[in-house]
Amino acid sequence: EKGGYDYFMLKEIAEQPKAVADTLLGRIDAAGSLTLDEVRIGAAELREVDKVVIVACGTAFHAGLIAKYAIEHWTRIPCEVELASEFRYRDPILDRQTLVVAISQSGETMDTLMALRHAREQGARVLAICNTNGSTIPRESDAVLYTHAGPEVAVASTKAFLTQLVACYLVALYLGQVRGTKWGDEIRDVVRELSRISREVERVLETMEPVRELARSLADKDTVLFLGRHVGYPVALEGALKLKELAYMHAEGFAAGELKHGPIALIEEDMPVVVVAPSPRGRSVLHDKIVSNIQEIRARGARTIVVAEEGDEAVVPYADHLIRIPVTPTLLQPLVSTVPLQVFACELATARGNEVDQPRNLAKSVTVE
Catalytic residue list? 364
Q: Does an H or E element contain 209, and which?
A: helix 209-217
- Least separation in angstroms between CB 183 and ligand M6R: 30
Check residue 141 for interaction with ligand M6R (CB under 6 A).
no
- Least separation in angstroms between CB 289 and ligand M6R: 29
Nearest CB to ligand M6R, comparing residues 155 and 302: 155
Q: Are 200 and 334 in contact (CB under 8 A)?
A: no
- How many residues belong to the chain? 369
Nearest CB to ligand M6R, comparing residues 58 and 228: 58
- Binding residues for ligand M6R restricted to 47-76, rule: CB under 6 A: 57-60
Nearest alpha carbon to residue 112 among 65, 168, 170, 58? 58
Q: Which of 106, 163, 198, 330 binds ligand M6R (CB under 6 A)?
A: 106
Nearest CB to ligand M6R, comparing residues 289 and 352: 352
Q: Are 345 and 156 in contact (CB under 8 A)?
A: yes
Check residue 171 for interaction with ligand M6R (CB under 6 A).
no
Nearest CB to ligand M6R, comparing residues 54 and 277: 54
Check residue 249 for interaction with ligand M6R (CB under 6 A).
no
Nearest alpha carbon to residue 178 among 70, 49, 43? 43
> Terminus-to-terminus CA distance in the chain, angstroms?
32
- Least separation in angstroms between CB 366 and ligand M6R: 5
Nearest alpha carbon to residue 341 among 245, 260, 257? 245
Part in contact with ligand M6R (CB under 6 A); list of ranges 26-34, 181-189, 254-262, 358-366: 358-366
Check residue 105 for interaction with ligand M6R (CB under 6 A).
yes
Q: How many residues bind ligand M6R (CB under 6 A)?
A: 16
Nearest CB to ligand M6R, comparing residues 106 and 198: 106
Nearest CB to ligand M6R, comparing residues 60 and 302: 60
For the chain, give me the number of helices (H) and strands (E)?
A: 13, 10
Q: What's the CA gap between 4 and 246, in Å, rounded?
A: 21
Q: What's the CA gap between 263 and 112, in Å, rounded?
A: 30
Q: Which of 104, 163, 177, 330 binds ligand M6R (CB under 6 A)?
A: 104
Q: What's the CA gap between 5 and 13, in Å, rounded?
A: 11
Q: What's the CA gap between 291 and 275, in Å, rounded?
A: 10
- Least separation in angstroms between CB 62 and ligand M6R: 8
Q: Are 80 and 128 in contact (CB under 8 A)?
A: no
Core vs surface per residue 195-205: b (16+ CB within 10 A) or e: eebbebbbebb
- Least separation in angstroms between CB 12 and ligand M6R: 11
Q: Which amino acid is at 68?
A: K
The number of angstroms, rounded, from the C-alpha of 221 to the middle of its chain's C-alpha atoms is 25
- Binding residues for ligand M6R restricted to 228-247, rule: CB under 6 A: 245
Check residue 112 for interaction with ligand M6R (CB under 6 A).
yes
Q: Which of 79, 100, 156, 302 binds ligand M6R (CB under 6 A)?
A: 156
Which residues lie near ligand M6R (CB under 6 A)?
Answer: 57-60, 104-106, 109, 112, 155-157, 245, 362, 365-366
